[in-house]
Structure 1
Amino acid sequence: MKEVRRLWSKLRRTPLKERIYQALKVLNMQHRRLQQLLARLQERDKELFNSCAMAKAWGDELHAVLYANELVELRKLTKTVMASSLAIEQVVLRLETIEQLGDAMVHLGPVVKIIQGLKGQLTNIIPEVAVELENVNNVLGSILIDIGEAKGAEVVASNEEALKVLQEAEVVAEQRLREKLPELPTPITEKLPVVASSSVSSGGRGFDLEERILQYIKDHGGELFISKCASDLNVTPQDVRRAIEKLASEGKIRTI
């Protein structure tokens, strides 16, 4: 990591075109990473959809709902990754038009803000990409500083234009996913109505995840939103799904 920082620090002292060229190389590499991740997510989407449809066909509502909920969360992630990939494409297009300082003054401000937004979106999804985006932004930011010193004026980055690019990328990603991915089998809902068996005691084993979820179901009137439960208990939706499957197999809860 220190070596990478030294390389980027050295790059900040190179001419404008060389800095732009190196930033473009890194951005294109991160774009490929996101495309590879997107392919894996879409493959997982197919697997979950088929599992959901199969469970539905067999009348297994519990597993159908669990698969559907995992699919909903996966598609949220897929949308974020696709939107980020589209936004990077826009950044690359803008950087490729820069030939001189005047061009940089027009394009770099919004680009820096776009990359900042992307870094925030991707930090918890694919952190290595977020780190590289931060490095790119540091170099582009140094160009903005150089421009300000050369022109004797402060270069102001446009939040509005950056926000517009990010929002447009999100809209396009949503449209593409809607066209590309099949709709969930119906009726599928995030809410999982369950009741706890009256024979189950809440004591004796300590509060492991199954007991916490069992108590959570009781506290919420027998209704369970998987993503909200996962957030409230600080676990993943997959953890909740596995715990529910175990509780159901042990007869401690049942769907109604």
Structure 2
Amino acid sequence: MFKENRSIMARVKEAFHPTPIRNRVMEALFKLKMQLSRLDRTAQKMQQRDSTLYGKCVKAVQEKNTQLSSMYASECAEIRKMAKVVLQSQLALEQVALRLETVLHYGDVAQAMRPVASVVRTIRTQLEGVLPDVSMELASVNESLEYLVMEVGEATEQSFDASISGEDAQRILNEANVVAEQKMRERFPDLPPVPTQEARVQ
């Protein structure tokens, strides 16, 4: 069994170090980091926009302007929905980037590639309605990763356990979602209670 494991690792290294696979991992990582930068900028802009609208909402509530306060509160709520999607996507893709960096340093291609490809595919779909340009770029990253999964599998003659890979991908997504919820609470204050029109009439 030990010899068999060594043989698998040897085949991985043979497939990895002649550069085609390594270069493609580096290219995918570069593209991924570009999109992470875009997500970070978008998250900052959303937070700034929310802060501005939040201030206006508070002022409208203090002035008992029900119509304006409701409008600003609704806009804040929509921004926060999108901000959470962006933040969760950013956190999950950061984990993908770490995995790819591990691949570059240690050549652990076989175990790392399938779950990260699955995560990128999920995030790409998630961002379609929020940031279509980023989603399109992630489609290219996902295509590269899926191809690498196939190529490494052929080079090493190793089969992948889809259930384990799926569990690993889901764990990354779940952890990103939990952290995103925590960060949302830290970055976005609770909206003030907005009086209804009926309450104002009374």
Residue number in structure 2 paired with 1:49: 54
SS in 2 for 1:132: helix
Matched, 1:67 2:72: yes
Matched, 1:151 2:152: no
Listed as ranges, the matches of 1:70-89 within 5 Å are 70-89=75-94
Bigger RCO of structures 1 and 2 (CA < 8 A, at least 6 apart): 2
SS in 1 for 2:194: coil
Residue number in structure 1 paired with 2:194: 188
Aligned partners of 1:109 and 1:156 also within 8 Å: no
Question: Which of 131, 135, 147 in structure 2 is aligned with 1:142?
Answer: 147
The Cα of 1:121 is off from its aligned counterpart by 0.7
The Cα of 1:47 is off from its aligned counterpart by 1.3
Cα distance 1:100–1:150, how it changes in 2: closer, same or farther (>3 A)? farther
Listed as ranges, the matches of 1:203-222 within 5 Å are none
RMSD: 2.2
Question: Which of 153, 167, 170 in structure 1 is aligned with 2:177?
Answer: 170
Runs of at least 5 residues in structure 2 that lack an aligned partner in the other structure: 1-18
Cα distance 1:99–1:171, how it changes in 2: closer, same or farther (>3 A)? same
SS in 2 for 1:125: coil
Residue number in structure 1 paired with 2:101: 96
TM-score after normalising by structure 1: 0.66
Letter in 1 for 2:115: P
The Cα of 1:255 is off from its aligned counterpart by 7.1
Aligned partners of 2:57 and 2:69 also within 8 Å: yes
Residue number in structure 2 paired with 1:33: 38
Residue number in structure 1 paired with 2:127: 122
Deviations 1:62-102 (Å, cap 9, x if unpaired)? 22122112211111110110111111110000000114896
The number of residues matched between the two structures is 181
Percent of aligned positions that are identical: 39
Q: Which has more helix, going by share of residues?
A: 2
Deviations 1:201-231 (Å, cap 9, x if unpaired)? xxxxxxxxxxxxxxxxxxxxxxxxxxxxxxx
Residue number in structure 1 paired with 2:3: none
Quick one: distance in 1 between partners of 2:30 and 2:201? 53
SS in 1 for 2:108: helix
Task: From the CA coordinates, give the structure whose radius of gyration is larger.
Answer: 1
Cα distance 1:101–1:183, how it changes in 2: closer, same or farther (>3 A)? closer
Quick one: distance in 2 between partners of 1:149 and 1:17? 16
Deviations 1:139-198 (Å, cap 9, x if unpaired)? 11111111221222433441221111112111111111211222211x238xx667xxxx
Q: Which has more strand, going by share of residues?
A: 1
Aligned partners of 2:54 and 2:72 also within 8 Å: yes
Cα distance 1:100–1:86, how it changes in 2: closer, same or farther (>3 A)? closer
TM-score after normalising by structure 2: 0.82
Aligned partners of 2:66 and 2:197 also within 8 Å: no
The Cα of 1:103 is off from its aligned counterpart by 1.0
Cα distance 1:125–1:255, how it changes in 2: closer, same or farther (>3 A)? farther
Runs of at least 5 residues in structure 1 that lack an aligned partner in the other structure: 1-13, 195-253
